[in-house]
Structure 1
Amino acid sequence: MNDDGPSLRERRREETRRLVQSWAMRLFVERGYDATTVNDVARASGVSPMTVYRHFPTKEDLVLHDRCDDLLAERVAARPADEPPVRRIGRALVDATRSLLGPAGGARSPEHDLLLARLRLVVDTPALRARHLDSQYATRKALVDAVLGDAPDPEAEFRAQAAAGACLAVLHVALVRWAREDGRPDLPDLIAAGLTAAFDDDSGRPPASRPTR
């Protein structure tokens, strides 16, 4: 039988990864990031320290690891190829965030609370802030590769790099404000508003919400 879905082994690995990260975040919030060791996380999760390191090579990865780069790249690749890179990336950022957090005005989801806790840790922990900056390079590369597809050229790559860097800067500003306001604003709307302010157009807005001129 042909099955394109994840294997049982892959599903179990993902379940273990989620369990370990969930316990890590709980301990980091309760005890503080610096006061919590990888051994503490392993004991709370009911796994060995080696298992933790197999899924998360560094302590920082317990906070920063996610699958958002893949989701963003998929959303960018799915948008019309003739859209300007800023618009493709901007709308993908808004759409992906909406997909993760759910509809505006709804109940706070576990994903909402997890993202908020992660952001607070990053803001308050110097080691995490430094690693977060490094992770931005990987996110930018994923976005640029999705924009370029299979036929990159130097000029197109330059434009895609500039667009991705600018959109990620807007995303960072929106995330910081969202965290400071305890996750109360609608994050996708904040990102869209930031993109509009930065580029003086509707880069983050879906076509249906374009203002009439």
Structure 2
Amino acid sequence: MPATAPPPSPVDPSQLGLRERKKLKTRVAIREATYRLITEQGYEATTVEQIAQAAEVSPSTVFRYFPTKEDIVLTDEHDPVMEEALRNRPAEEPLLDSLRHVLRQTMEHSMRHEPEVTKLRMRLMVEVPAVRSRSLESMSVTGGMLCRVIAERTGRDPAELEVRAYAMGLVGTLFETSRYWAERDYPDDIGDLLDRALTVFAQGLGPGVARANQGGPTGR
């Protein structure tokens, strides 16, 4: 893939066999039913039984594809796409530049193809403790993917503390950028916010201007 090409779609059905296409169709139906019901009636009011009925599958099928309701909201196929895109960046490119490029493209791809779903997922991550908790658990999967790529690019062991700390620092940056964006009702371009956050990740946090009277403790 050329270095300037956008990341591929998370799943290309034409590359799958009949069985895998059927499984993908079921996963998509369950997710779409979930997003629709949550939009109409809220997260807590939406049950797995309702999701199953709307997706025309059994509740046991829902649980076979997604262990929890939170997983339906959060699960996507972006990690393997990001991993492939990172491996196709120029070998001489600085690692953080590669990561910045691919992370931004991934976010922009989501906003271009499913903006309302992307915003809904991020809003639920902010508003629903169970979704936020599950999201934090799932970060380790993305972190593991980044460890593999970082280790390949740097010649290190993916299990090294430094590699793991760097990878999870990146995942945390992405997580907090998403939360920041959703908490403020999506006021800015998510790609610009990610660039801003990654600059802090790379350069460190310099002195800032203290903000008084922001609702926190005053120290008195």
| Aligned partner of 2:49 among 11, 24, 39 | 39
Superposition misfits of 4+ residues, deviation over 6 angstroms: none
Query: 5+ unaligned residues in a row in structure 2: which ranges?
Result: 1-13, 205-220
Q: Which amino acid aligns with 2:100?
A: G
Q: Output one character per residue of 1:56-95: Cα deviation in whole Å (capped at 9) or x when no partner.
A: 1222111111111112211222223344443332322112
Q: Which amino acid aligns with 1:73?
A: E
1:87 maps to which residue?
A: 97
Seen in structure 2, the aligned counterparts of structure 1 residues 145 and 164 have a Cα distance that, compared at 3 Å, is same
Q: Output one character per residue of 1:113-164: Cα deviation in whole Å (capped at 9) or x when no partner.
A: 1011011112111111111111011110011112223996448844432322
8 Å contact kept, 2:124–2:131:
yes
Q: Output one character per residue of 1:154-175: Cα deviation in whole Å (capped at 9) or x when no partner.
A: 4884443232222222212221
Q: Within 2, Cα distance between the matches of 1:58 and 1:76?
A: 30
**CA deviation after TM superposition for structure 1 residue 9, in Å:** 2.0
8 Å contact kept, 1:123–1:129:
yes
Seen in structure 2, the aligned counterparts of structure 1 residues 153 and 125 have a Cα distance that, compared at 3 Å, is same
Pair 1:63 & 2:73 matched: yes
Query: 5+ unaligned residues in a row in structure 1: which ranges?
Result: 103-108, 202-213
2:182 maps to which residue?
A: 179
Seen in structure 2, the aligned counterparts of structure 1 residues 42 and 155 have a Cα distance that, compared at 3 Å, is closer
- How many residues of Structure 1 are paired with residues of Structure 2 in the alignment? 191
Q: Give 1:12-27 correspondences, 5 Å limit.
A: 12-27=22-37
Larger relative contact order (Cα-Cα within 8 Å, sequence gap ≥ 6): 1
TM-score (norm 1): 0.79
1:208 maps to which residue?
A: none
Q: Secondary structure at 2:24's aligned position in 1?
A: helix
Pair 1:147 & 2:150 matched: yes
| Aligned partner of 2:202 among 199, 203, 206 | 199
1:126 maps to which residue?
A: 129
**CA deviation after TM superposition for structure 1 residue 22, in Å:** 1.0
Q: Percent identity?
A: 35
The Cα RMSD (Å) is 2.5
Seen in structure 2, the aligned counterparts of structure 1 residues 125 and 16 have a Cα distance that, compared at 3 Å, is same
TM-score (norm 2): 0.76
Q: Secondary structure at 2:188's aligned position in 1?
A: coil
Pair 1:72 & 2:82 matched: yes
Q: Which amino acid aligns with 1:66?
A: D
